[in-house]
A and B are shown apart, each in its own frame.
Chain A
Amino acid sequence: MKKQKAIKKQKPIEKPKTMKKQNIVLISSVLLVIVFALGAYFYKTQQSTKLSFMARENASTFVRDYSLTLGSDDAKVYIVEFFDPACETCRDFHPFVKNLMAANQGKIKLVHRYAPFHPGSDYFVKILEAARKQGKYWETLEAMFNSQHIWASHHNPQPELIWQFLPEAGLNIEQIRNDMNDPEIAKHIEQDLADANTLNVRQTPEFFVNGKPLPNFGYDYLKELVETEIKANY
């Protein structure tokens, strides 16, 4: 009788212990995930406060005087886009941004900044800047994006392959070959990359709408942010 009791007693003692250990693991997991989520939340809030402060105090980090813009000067909503001509997602976003501008005629100004993160893609930025001198920036960008799958397939930009597609933008090719080596262009690319670094741009495209970063990456988030800014400013 006594023995039986002892065995019975032992079992319930052991069980709660293993239960307790499993609970320690589970509770720690939950705690770790909560800390992670809180950390992510605080980091994002702090980052966007920092950026909105910079947009007020240091607007030139977002728009340099040489920066290429599209849209009315009276527009109150600025979309600053850091992009790479060799980046596929930038190509996919391009028509979307143009539609956004068309839908809100005169209210949006687009600023293009360069973030040529793909190795060798600064070559294509130089072509774009040279085309800009001929007043054909947007046509050239269009031609580049349309043929991007050929000259930049598998994220491996091949400079020689672009030239066959440039005539469709109506460019003076000889002039481009001369102008693209202008040291001024190289300086601007350097400045854009430095600003991208200051603004923590690590992927392209990266958008800032009146200095505010996208809460999450995606078409809908961009659209939402632009619409909020339009409502707030008009």
Chain B
Amino acid sequence: MPHSDQTSNSNWTILFICWLIASISTLGSLFFSEIMKFAPCVLCWYQRICLFPLVLILSMGLFSFDKSVVRFALPLAIAGWFIALYHNLLYTGIIPESIQPCSKGVSCTEDYINLFGIFTIPMLSLISFSTIVVLLFMLKRRLSK
């Protein structure tokens, strides 16, 4: 059955890309906090709570391809995506900072890095979560066919 073999192969690849994005984001976030010593703000921590487990959960699904991994990974990815979206709205000033939860400690709107004017840390997080969510939904549809 060469056809189904090919689909299962590309399903695996989609999951692998999700895992790769999650891993790169995790290491990137650790690089910012542990090497460059940028203190993570509260919202960053909430996003990390959603991001870090994805690396382990997705890798378990990869080792012997297990399609139920999508069901476990999606809620985390979606929750992370919403927090990242909220963080970006705060960051860009669409939601005023006065109503945000982290007035003490590290400010959630502090500009640590800003590449080319758009790639701030919250934006990188939103891009990662968005890609992972889209890919997982794609995988879900392909698997239910």
Contact = CB atoms under 8 A, between A and B. Distances in A.
B20 A202 contact: no
The 3 closest A-B pairs by CB, nearest first: A202-B37, A40-B35, A36-B27
B47 interface: no
Nearest to A29: B23
B27 A32 contact: yes
Given A24-B16, A28-B23, A202-B39, A36 B31 contact: yes
A99 interface: no
Nearest to A13: B5
Interface in B18-52: 19-20, 23-24, 27, 30-31, 34-39
Contacts of B27: 32-33, 35-36
Contact of B104 (A28, A44, A119): A119
A93 interface: no
B30 A25 contact: no
Given A18-B64, A24-B16, A119-B104, A32 B23 contact: yes
Contacts of B104: 119
Nearest to A14: B5
B16 A25 contact: yes
| Interface size of B as a range | 20 to 34
Contacts of B24: 32
Interface of B: 12, 16, 19-20, 23-24, 27, 30-31, 34-39, 59, 62-65, 104
A86 to B, nearest CB: 14
Interface residues on A, range: 10 to 19
A58 B72 CA distance: 54
Nearest to B39: A202
B30 A36 contact: yes
A21 interface: yes
A33 B62 CA distance: 18
Given A28-B23, A29-B23, A21 B62 contact: yes
19 contacts: A21-B16, A21-B62, A21-B63, A21-B65, A24-B16, A25-B16, A25-B59, A28-B23, A29-B23, A32-B24, A32-B27, A36-B30, A40-B31, A40-B34, A43-B35, A43-B36, A119-B104, A202-B37, A202-B38
A89 interface: no
Given A32-B27, A36-B31, A43-B35, A22 B63 contact: yes
A39 B35 CA distance: 9
Contacts of A202: 37-39
A67 interface: no
A200 interface: yes
A203 interface: yes
Nearest to A35: B27
Nearest to A155: B105
Contacts of B62: 21-22, 25
A35 B24 CA distance: 10
Contacts of B12: 21
Contacts of A18: 64-65
Given A18-B64, A24-B16, A25-B59, A44 B23 contact: no
